């Protein structure tokens, strides 16, 4: 058991983590609607956990003015979390709309800045146009397309992260073989 968790095997655990992320990402890409529903459910549970902490914080700081705000926000988050769990498709679509709003704001900001600066103008213009177009696509696409987007986005994010972790694991292995690190 000690050998299983030894420092000499740290790269292999990193690689195992990378492989899990890649496999999870591939599964999400193959089943984007399932991943979207799971994202909606996960969002609901995050809200419920945050709500519990907000309510506890509000009651534990009764002596501080404005403690009711924590309690009220906690109750709202709890109700929203329950609704998100009860209606995971609507929750997933809400996530897509939030992503679209974020992309539009980022894209418009990049376009605004691109016209104000000289250096890196082309890259900022390109990024601003791409982000804005993706946002508009999401705003005007069907629910099915939006859900597919969310699942695919999560899947590609996991694959990308997994590939990065695999590269790190291989670098760790090489450094360990060269006795640069233990």
Domain map of the chain by residue range? 8-176
Q: What's the burial of 158, exposed, middle or buried (CB within 10 Å: 0-12/13-18/19+)?
A: buried
Return d(Cα 179, Cα 15) in angstroms, integer: 19
The two three-digit tokens of residue 45, written as one number: 């549970």
Nearest to 99 by CA among 161, 147, 51: 147
Tens of pLDDT, residue by residue, the chain (182 residues): 455 445 556 789 999 999 999 999 999 999 999 999 999 999 999 999 999 999 999 999 888 877 889 999 999 999 999 999 999 999 999 999 999 999 999 999 999 999 888 777 888 899 999 999 999 999 999 999 999 999 999 999 999 999 999 999 999 898 888 876 55
Give tens-digit pLDDT for 124-176: 899 999 999 999 999 999 999 999 999 999 999 999 999 999 999 999 898 88
Residue 54: closest CA among 43, 77, 78, 70: 70
Distance in angstroms (rounded) separating the CA atoms of residues 103 and 111: 12
Measured torsion, CA atoms of residues 148, 104, 159, 8, in degrees rounded to the nearest 10: -150
CA distance 126 to 107: 9
Residue with tokens 């939030």: 98
């Amino acid at each position: 058991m000690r050998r299983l968790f030894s420092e000499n095997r740290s790269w292999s655990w990193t690689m195992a983590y990378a492989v899990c992320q890649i496999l999870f990402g591939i599964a999400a890409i193959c089943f984007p609607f399932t991943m979207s529903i799971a994202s909606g459910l996960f969002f609901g549970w995050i809200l419920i956990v945050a709500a519990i902490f907000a309510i506890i914080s509000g009651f534990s700081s009764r002596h501080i003015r404005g403690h009711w705000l924590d309690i009220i926000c906690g109750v709202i988050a709890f109700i929203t979390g329950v609704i998100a769990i009860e209606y995971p498709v609507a929750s997933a679509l809400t996530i897509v709309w939030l992503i679209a709003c974020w992309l539009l704001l980022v894209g418009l900001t990049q376009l605004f800045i691109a016209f104000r600066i000289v250096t890196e103008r082309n890259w900022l213009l390109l990024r601003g146009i791409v982000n804005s177009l993706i946002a508009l696509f999401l705003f005007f696409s069907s629910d099915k397309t939006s859900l597919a987007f969310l699942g695919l986005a999560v899947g590609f994010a996991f694959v990308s992260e997994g590939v990065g972790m695999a590269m790190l694991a291989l670098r760790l292995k090489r450094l360990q073989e060269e006795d640069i690190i233990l």
